[in-house]
Amino acid sequence: MSVLQNVEDDSPLFAFEVTQRDVCLFGIKVHALAVSQALDNIDSAIKNKQSLHIGMLNAAKIVNMKRNPALGDDVRSSNMILADGSAVVMASKILRKTLPERVAGIDLMHGILSRGNKEGYRVFCLGATPEISAKTESEIRKQYPGVVIAGTQHGYFNDSEEAAVAQQIADSNADVLFVAITSPKKEQFMARWNKTMRIPVVHGVGGSFDVLAGKVQRAPLIWQKYGMEWLYRVVQEPGRLWKRYLVTNTLFLGMLVKELFLPSKPF
């Protein structure tokens, strides 16, 4: 195991070692885990005070990792990488490197909160607007009263304030940090300040706070079942999202075809 060193008191925080099987997709090591297995790893990391940095992978992120090598490095620095998109699970089947199921970031967040409701996890919520941040805190307290809110901080801070935010999180003694900041800033923040924050579990949750706070409606289960959650989002915000998904999905399909004939090596 590697050691993440505490810059304040030099006490060690060991990196959690995921022992379950992983597969290589598009040169990225993805762990072949069901939601329940991921939650078991998270619980173990919390109880043993080990560092578990969770990376979530969907089609758009795979495309953007190819465009932005720095983003790729930040995602690969995670020690548990999960398939957050149905397209990634579909690709794993086509490439004969089958993943057991999709582990959506928002489902994992609710799973952590559900277990935390029983175990008394301390949670810090980082990201979104001040209004959404406050509403998210309120909803967690209402839906998961056994969870301790160790702290909150909205996502509208500049680069010069990052160190102070990271120290605020460190001082909270949280077990779990939810990061609701858009990519690639989210991955950059998590990778840059992980050693300072010294939080056992760090999970980038994307737009999950907007859903939890009721600002955005999540796709019905039937849309989720058939991997069409992205289309539901486009229907909700066509002017903003149609071009992004058209370009991203087209590029991802091209990468998948290439991967069939020239598989990428892990790096």
Pairing assessment for the beta strands 52-57 and 201-204 based on DSSP bridges? parallel
The tokens describing 225, both together, are: 């079942």
Pick the range with the lowest mean pLDDT from 147-161, 180-194, 200-214.
180-194
User: What is the band of 5 on the pLDDT scale with cuts at 50, 70, 90?
Assistant: very low
Pick the range with the lowest mean pLDDT from 16-25, 165-174, 237-246.
237-246
DSSP 161: G
Show me where the domains of the chain are located.
3-261
16-22: long-range contacts (C-beta < 8 A, 24 or more apart)?
A: 16/41, 16/44, 16/45, 16/48, 16/50, 16/51, 16/52, 16/79, 16/80, 16/200, 17/79, 18/79, 18/80, 22/81
Q: Residues 48-106: pLDDT tens digits?
A: 999 999 999 999 999 999 999 988 988 898 999 999 989 999 999 999 999 999 999 99
pLDDT the model gives residue 191: 81
Q: Select, from the ranges 114-123, 180-189, 222-231, the one with the highest average predicted confidence (pLDDT).
A: 114-123
Q: Tell whether the model's pLDDT for residue 10 goes beyond 60.
A: no
Average pLDDT for the chain: 89
DSSP 213: T
pLDDT the model gives residue 8: 44
User: What is the band of 187 on the pLDDT scale with cuts at 50, 70, 90?
Assistant: confident
Average pLDDT over residues 125-151: 97
Q: Model-level pTM?
A: 0.89
Q: Tell whether the model's pLDDT for residue 41 goes beyond 90.
A: yes
- Cβ neighbours of residue 38 closer than 8 Å, sequence gap 6 or more: 31, 54, 80, 82, 103, 108, 111
Distance CA 44, CA 50 (A): 8
